[in-house]
Amino acid sequence: MEDGSCVLENMMLAAHAFGLGTVWVHREREIFDGKKGKALLREWGLPETLRGVGAIALGYPAREPGRPAARKQDYIVRI
């Protein structure tokens, strides 16, 4: 689960670097746990034990993203 999430995040960061927008789609576990999903895995020659983590929708943003909020001055977190 963690590795798949890292892969998707890196894909989203790479897309952003190219000026593309992304949206995380969180439905793959439900899709591939069902009958039709298992059939797709078999058709693709993949083991039915694979679990879906997520997918991304990719495209050009309709508008420029807003600027992030300014950092608080002298704000330090200590753990």
- Residues whose CB is less than 8 angstroms from the CB of residue 38 and which lie 6 or more positions away in sequence, other chains included: 32, 48
Mean pLDDT for the chain?
86
Paired residues of 23 in beta bridges:
57
H or E element: which one contains 5?
Answer: helix 2-17
pLDDT band at 31; cut points 50, 70, 90: confident
How far apart are alpha carbons 39 and 26 in whole angstroms?
A: 20
How far apart are alpha carbons 30 and 33 in whole angstroms?
A: 5
Rounded mean pLDDT of 19-37?
A: 87
Global pTM reads 0.64
Q: For residue 8, report the phi and psi dihedrals to the nearest 5 degrees.
A: -65, -40
